[in-house]
Amino acid sequence: MIEEAHPVLRRDPVMAELVERHDPYEEPDWTEYERLCISIINQQVSTASAAAIRERVFDVLDGEVTPETILAADEDALYEAGLSRSKIEYVRNAAEAFRANDYTRSGLADHTNEEVIDALTEIKGIGDWTARMYLLFVLERPDILPLGDLAVRRGIENLYADDGEELTRAEMREIAETWRPHRSVATRYIWAEYEAD
């Protein structure tokens, strides 16, 4: 996917620089359920806080993050690791859903992006943002632009706006038009640059 994207992204001079500077595919190969838990942990917290909480939660589970281990884990231990009571409920809701349905790459292969979002957002605690993270990171759909993500919006503004100027989402979508059909890869480069600053 990334090799196919580069010729398209390099047509944008700003994106061409990011392609030279970053490797946005360095993260571990998480399972589908692990990646969903990570997205839940990341909800409404800073990148640094989310990484610290994730590490502590994974330690509580001895590195084995599955629906079974989450459901069996001591709630107080998860809370002390940094998960709020509501997020504990959300990862457990997701665990129950994963045991009842097939949310794997193969299980959702025939579903459209909107069908995936509809299915995931039926799980309490999974909103539009988390569902789009799943499309982008787990299912690796090629053309996801998650403008509900603050880091993506700030990243686009830092790269494309005049100093201090705020861009509307419509303006951001217009900037991203040149990245089609590889907006997922472009998004990863935007994140990589934003987190490097």
In tens, the pLDDT along 151-167 reads 899 999 999 998 778 99
Least confident range of 30-34, 92-96, 112-116: 30-34
DSSP three-state, residue 92: helix
- Specify the pTM: 0.86
pLDDT band at 19 (very low <50, low <70, confident <90, very high): very high
Helices and strands (DSSP H and E) totals, the chain:
12, 0
Please tell me the distance from the alpha carbon of residue 145 to that of residue 137, in angstroms, as a whole number.
12
Question: CB within 8 A of 61, min separation 6: which ones?
Answer: 69, 70, 73
pLDDT band at 62 (very low <50, low <70, confident <90, very high): very high
Is the predicted pLDDT of residue 1 greater than 80, yes or no?
A: no
Q: Chain-wide mean pLDDT for the chain?
A: 93
Task: Write down the pLDDT at residue 24.
Answer: 83
Nearest to 22 by CA among 192, 197, 194, 195: 192
Is the predicted pLDDT of residue 3 greater than 90, yes or no?
A: no
Distances (CA, A) of 70 to 88, 133, 147, 161: 9, 20, 30, 43
Is the predicted pLDDT of residue 59 greater than 80, yes or no?
A: yes
pLDDT band at 113 (very low <50, low <70, confident <90, very high): very high
Which residue carries 């040149």 as its tokens?
A: 178
